[in-house]
């Protein structure tokens, strides 16, 4: 059976995968916030500024995806 058919046939497995994805995204967001905090405390420079920008975007995207999965799970 293909993975797409397994999702349609087994909603419990799909929910389990969604919960796992939510927690994985949440852990990733916490790690990214920690890295962002470390970069914000670092000495100013072009590399630090670039790292802050990239980490800020990654953190925002990760939190948005986690919120989206949480909303889907609450239905």
pTM of the model: 0.82
Beta-carbon count within 10 A of 58 CB? 15
Q: Which pair of tokens denotes residue 28?
A: 């990733």
Q: What is the pLDDT of residues 23-73, one digit of tens each?
A: 999 999 999 999 999 999 999 999 999 999 999 999 999 999 999 999 999
Number of domains in the chain: 1
HSE on the CB side for 3, CA within 13 Å? 2
Q: What is the pLDDT of residue 1?
A: 53
Q: What is the pLDDT of residue 2?
A: 59
Residue 8 belongs to what domain range? 3-73
DSSP H or E stretch at residue 33: helix 11-41
């Amino acid at each position: 059976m293909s993975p797409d058919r397994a999702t349609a046939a087994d909603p419990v497995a799909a929910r389990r995968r969604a919960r796992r994805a939510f927690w994985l995204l949440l852990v990733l967001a916490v790690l990214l916030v920690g890295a962002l905090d470390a970069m914000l405390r670092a000495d100013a420079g072009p590399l630090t500024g670039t790292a802050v920008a990239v980490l800020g975007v990654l953190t925002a995207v990760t939190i948005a995806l986690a919120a989206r999965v949480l909303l889907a799970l609450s239905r």
